[in-house]
């Protein structure tokens, strides 16, 4: 990523855009699609699923499903699933702690 900041500005289609994309696409003003970016990462053996899941959990911790779903194009049930996955439930930990006698 640091090498990308030192690169000269684009001179092809991406140069026609007023927006500066980190991963410019082939069309002016468009970013690289998620599919193409995923394929390029996979070609270099870089997994994108763990990063995607981490980002979704981070969003779900801070946003209610009613906001998360439309913002990311998720079905309401899927948005609620990510919200449940992101919530922290300490009851199991507390029960285990209370059931264990002190030394």
Residues 67 and 100 in one domain: yes
Residues 58 and 101 in one domain: yes
The rounded distance, in Å, linking the Cα atoms of 84 and 90 is 13
Residues 57 and 7 in one domain: no
Instruction: Supply the range of the domain harboring residue 58.
Output: 49-103
Residues 24 and 56 in one domain: no
Q: 45 falls in which pLDDT band (50, 70, 90)?
A: very high
pTM, to two decimals: 0.49
Q: Is the pLDDT of residue 92 over 70?
A: no
Residues 67 and 24 in one domain: no
Residues 6 and 22 in one domain: yes
pLDDT tens-digit readout, 47-90? 888 888 888 888 888 888 899 899 989 999 999 998 888 876 66
The rounded distance, in Å, linking the Cα atoms of 53 and 37 is 16
Judge whether 76 and 65 are in contact, CB under 8 Å: yes
Structure tokens at 77: 């049930």
């Amino acid at each position: 990523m640091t090498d990308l900041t030192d690169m000269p500005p684009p001179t092809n289609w991406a140069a026609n855009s007023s927006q500066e994309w980190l991963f410019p696409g082939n069309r002016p003003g468009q970013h690289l699609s998620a599919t193409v970016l995923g394929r390029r990462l996979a070609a270099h053996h870089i997994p994108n699923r763990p990063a995607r899941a981490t980002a979704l959990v981070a969003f779900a911790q801070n946003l209610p499903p009613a906001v998360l779903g439309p913002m990311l194009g998720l079905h309401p049930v899927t948005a609620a699933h990510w919200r449940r996955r992101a919530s922290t439930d300490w009851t199991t930990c507390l029960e285990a702690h209370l059931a264990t006698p002190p030394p």
